[in-house]
Structure 1
């Protein structure tokens, strides 16, 4: 495992632990709890992928996900998810 991947792994594990503690020790609204649980699921899946050597591979096609995008969004699961996120990132929140 490269040093940068090792650092990312450690950061994601720390985020997972922090999120689990927050879910267990705080009263959250149903909407926030659902979003936190979905994020926790993404973190767990990312940790498993790093541990098994499948990190950065599209779940749908098996093609690599660009490293530049993984740097921006390390929990992305597929190229189609990446394209959807990019589509929304390019649109201004308030049209000019």
Structure 2
């Protein structure tokens, strides 16, 4: 059985080694279909920790309110307003 191979005349072939389309597909799908390694599990555990931190933060916000952002102080603007003004200032900068 002969497979059609389309090769560019302007550049070197991207796939070398006389591979079939099935071989290329297997090479591409192997990392996705393989079992996760130790590094993946480390990243997963870190992600779970960050998710837990986010859940606790939202819980504290619902229970204690926005007063924990220093909005109950008369001198400061509070975290949310300061953060908003910072990002608006970053967004307003442009090249001339």
**Does TM, scored on the shorter chain, surpass 0.5?**
no
Larger Cα Rg: Structure 1 or Structure 2? Answer: 2
- The structure whose residues are more often helix, as a share, is 1
